[in-house]
Amino acid sequence: RMEGWVEDLFVDYTGQLVRKGQPLFTLYSQELVTTQEEYLLALRAKADIQESPLLEAREQGAQMVEAARDRLRLWTITDNQIEELARRGKPQTYVTIYSPAAGYIVDKKVFKGMYVKPEMTVYSIADLSTIWVLADIYEYEMPFIQVGQAGILTLDALPNETFHGEITYIYPYLSRQTRTVKVRLVFKNPTLRLKPDMYGTVRIQVNRGEKLAVPEEAVLDSGTRKVVFVVRGEGLFEPREVRLGPKVGSYYEVVEGLEKGERIVTSGTFLLDSESKLSASTNMMGSLGMGGIKMDQAQMGQMDMGDMDMGGMEQDKNMTQRETATAKNVSSGKMEKKAEGLTLVFSTDPTPVRIGENRIQVTVTDAAGKPVSHAKVRLTFTMPMPGMIPATVPMTEGKPGIYVAKVNLGMAGQWDLTIEIQRPGQPDVKETFSVIAGESGMSGMPGM
């Protein structure tokens, strides 16, 4: 609140721990010297008129002293320092500036002999015993996030440690570039292991209780209604309209239309829908072909947002597939694409791909060849034909920069697999790779 020249520095480097009330530096301020002299003059004037018979004069003297004390307080001079000034009877040339809080010096912009003004920041002091962590939450995750929820923080720099905190604030706006919302979490840091500007991963667990859920690929969305095919036995399937709740990972909550334990089709729903329309069955049920069809069972399970797993979901391993002619095999290998400064290396297991379950792997590196970790990576797969409903699954990171997912290719032919990479503060990357599936597999070819 005052300006002047810095005479002595008691705290002269960043990282130093200071206590509240600890001296930081001394300052020479002509304005402060003048204000002290005014206070001493007011004290002398009050003493001179103390014996005056005029009450008004005595009150005026007291008011002058109090006004001078208030001006000194504006300079952050404490009452103890003012009393010491009165006892000393002469102005103090230099004033000591004390730390207003305990913490670490994280920024220092002052040096000896410098002229400082009230609007300048000379020290930045941070209390690191409690820290804030800012996390990016995607749009579709926002309905599950609220203040007070617990968060678990992990860091690559401290691989064997976890830190527990909670959400204290949700920012009211969305980032246009990343399509994420920032949330602020508070973590205790008594050992000071957490440092400012560290990067980490926050896991927020949301237990929504037991919910009936089905895989995303089981839902046929016509735009006006959402349908799943219920297995009725003996090759019969019933198209059932359902009302869906939130999507968690690759599963939808079913609010209405299904019962626990009913068996449903989880792949080939487009083929079933087309065939059911051709059959012109009055009750929307018919003896439909089983080719390329995978069946599953609607189950009650825990919907855990922490790692997007659907605990309690049990898939029926028994499935019926029609025999398909194996297309001509061609040479196989890894496929590579470059986009937005990233290199994507795509591979499959088995190679070539086959009808049924396949393991898809993509290795992501930056322009320097370093692995790109902690990205949000999703895999969308579909067949390039009209009306096919694409399915999307999250890819999980195993080793740094290596993301994997398992997909079920329900029929022979070309499949387009699109890799979408999202990183906070960076443009999204989306590249498509095409593969041809057969009973004994087909090799991949780069997507257009």
Predicted pLDDT at 365: 96
- pLDDT tens-place string over residues 174-207: 988 888 999 999 999 988 889 888 999 999 877 7
Round to whole Å and give the CA distance between 214 and 216: 6
**Burial of 211 by CB count in 10 Å (0-12 exposed, 13-18 middle, 19+ buried)?**
buried
Q: Is 327 within the bounds of a domain? A: no
**Burial of 307 by CB count in 10 Å (0-12 exposed, 13-18 middle, 19+ buried)?**
exposed
Global pTM?
0.42
Q: Are 122 and 8 found together in one domain?
A: yes
Q: Are 435 and 388 found together in one domain?
A: yes
Q: Is the pLDDT of residue 249 over 60?
A: yes
Residue scoring higher pLDDT (237 or 14): 14
Q: Are 342 and 418 found together in one domain?
A: yes
Instruction: Report residue 36 as tokens.
Output: 């002290």
Q: Which alpha helices (H) appear in 75-186, and where do they start and end?
A: 79-88
Q: Are 275 and 164 found together in one domain?
A: no
- pLDDT tens-place string over residues 387-410: 567 889 999 998 999 999 999 887
Q: Which alpha helices (H) appear in 109-213, and where do they start and end?
A: none
- pLDDT tens-place string over residues 159-175: 889 999 999 999 999 98
Q: Count the domains in the chain.
A: 4
- Residue 383: domain span: 335-446
Cβ contacts of 434 within 8 Å, gap of 6 or more: 384, 414, 415, 416, 417, 444, 445, 446, 447, 448
| CATH number of 289's domain | 2.40.420.20
Whether 262 and 297 have beta carbons less than 8 Å apart is answered as yes
Q: In this structure, which long-range contacts are made by residues 381-385, counting pairs with CB atoms below 8 Å and at least 24 apart in sequence?
A: 381/407, 381/409, 381/415, 381/416, 381/417, 381/418, 382/415, 382/416, 383/411, 383/413, 383/414, 383/415, 383/416, 384/414, 384/416, 384/434
Confidence of residue 291 (pLDDT cuts 50, 70, 90): very low
| CATH number of 145's domain | 2.40.30.170
For residue 33, the SS3 value is helix
